Structure 1
Amino acid sequence: MKVTPTAIPDVLIIEPKVFGDERGFFYESFNQKAFNEATGLDVNFVQDNHSRSAKGVLRGLHYQIQHPQGKLVRVVQGEVFDVAVDLRQTSETFGHSVSEILSADNKKQLWVPPGFAHGFLVMSESAEFLYKTSDYWYPLYERCLLWSDPVLSIPWPLEQPPTLAVKDTAGLPLNELELFS
């Protein structure tokens, strides 16, 4: 497993070792011991989620103000533009974002630590997105950062306006959010 810090060092790109030949491929998508050793983290994942979305769907930017979730995300079908935004007020990278293309082909994973908002845009005809979380989903504490907040300047690769859920259209700009200290 190869682990590469992003421009926000707490957000990590994880690339598994893939074994392939004319028959196909094999890789270990997750191993707790290897993950902890390679990242230096001690994360206990408690929930796995799986979503399927059509091209142009933008999900996010979501976070939980209490019971914050760390997320290990990946794509098993299709391709997405994945984004993490630092919402930790005491962080040197507060309000900054990082993005990465995740796809079934590149098999990259992204570690998004607690204290970050997270979202993605589907770039292929459809995409299946999997993520492990370090805490359970608590709808009461879920919040949404406005994906298009001009303060963030996220370079979403949009061909047309995205398809959004109602909660995502109601996202708040950074200066109106409940934040992490």
Structure 2
Amino acid sequence: MTAERLLTATGQPVQGPLLITPQVFADERGFFFESWNERCFRNDLMNDGVSAAEVECLQFRQDNHSRSSRGVLRGLHFQLLPEPQGKLVRCSVGSIFDVAVDLRSASPTYGQWVGTTLSADNHQQFWVPMGFAHGFLTLSDVAEVQYKASGFWNRDCERSLRWNDSTLAIQWPLQLAEVIEPLLTEKDAQAPMLSMLESMGEVFE
């Protein structure tokens, strides 16, 4: 496996999120790869500057699986303390554009985003650590997304950030999804802007 940082739209690397590319063994019969290896993942985090103590405390609490049709946008979601979540995301059917927004107020990239295409073809995974909002846009007719979460789902901690907040300026590839507007839940369509989350103290320190 290899892991790399992603760049913001302005070319700035963001510490935390990682794009993980597995080694795939393929031949005329099909393919095989390790979709999860704890030792490799922990090494990737430490190579990115995460302390050994923090890595040791990280455990995945639940696995989630979603199925979405073309043009569906889920997010941007995150959980606050005491049950924040890091997510290790992959797409096993179809393709998605996956996004993480830095909500760590002390971070030099606060309020900036990184994004990448995850697909059944590239087998890549996206690590979205605690302190980031996460969302994705479905690019294919159908996409199935699985992710490991480091915290349990907690309704009281769950928050959303508006997908089209102009201060974020996320470049969602709507043309690749072949839609003019994404398909959203009412909750996501009415999610607060970043400025409102700031005023309520609902960002990370």
Q: TM above 0.5, one fold?
A: yes
- Partner Cα distance (1:172, 1:56) in 2: 21
Give the equivalent residue in structure 2 for 1:62. Answer: 77
Instruction: Please state how far the C-alpha of 1:9 moved relative to its aligned partner.
Output: 2.4
The match for 2:22 among 16, 23, 42 is 16
- Partner Cα distance (1:128, 1:52) in 2: 4
Q: Secondary structure at the match of 1:168?
A: helix
Aligned-residue CA RMSD in angstroms? 0.9
Give the equivalent residue in structure 1 for 2:63. Answer: 48
Counterpart check, 1:166 vs 2:186:
yes
Q: Which has the higher helix share?
A: 2
Counterpart check, 1:146 vs 2:166:
no
Worse overlay, 33-42 or 125-134: 33-42
Amino acid of the structure 1 residue aligned with 2:79: Q
Aligned residues: 181
- Partner Cα distance (1:156, 1:171) in 2: 17
Q: Secondary structure at the match of 2:156?
A: helix
Counterpart check, 1:26 vs 2:32:
yes
Moved over 6 A (4+): none
- Partner Cα distance (2:92, 2:190) in 1: 29
Instruction: Please state how far the C-alpha of 1:119 moved relative to its aligned partner.
Output: 0.1
Counterpart check, 1:112 vs 2:132:
no
- Partner Cα distance (1:160, 1:105) in 2: 26
TM-score (norm 1): 0.97
- Partner Cα distance (1:90, 1:46) in 2: 27
Gaps of 5+ in 2: 8-13
Give the equivalent residue in structure 1 for 2:41. Answer: 35
- Partner Cα distance (2:173, 2:39) in 1: 36
Give the equivalent residue in structure 1 for 2:6. Answer: 6
Give the equivalent residue in structure 1 for 2:11. Answer: none
Gaps of 5+ in 1: none
Instruction: Please state how far the C-alpha of 1:103 moved relative to its aligned partner.
Output: 0.3
Instruction: Please state how far the C-alpha of 1:39 moved relative to its aligned partner.
Output: 2.6
Q: Which has the higher strand share?
A: 1
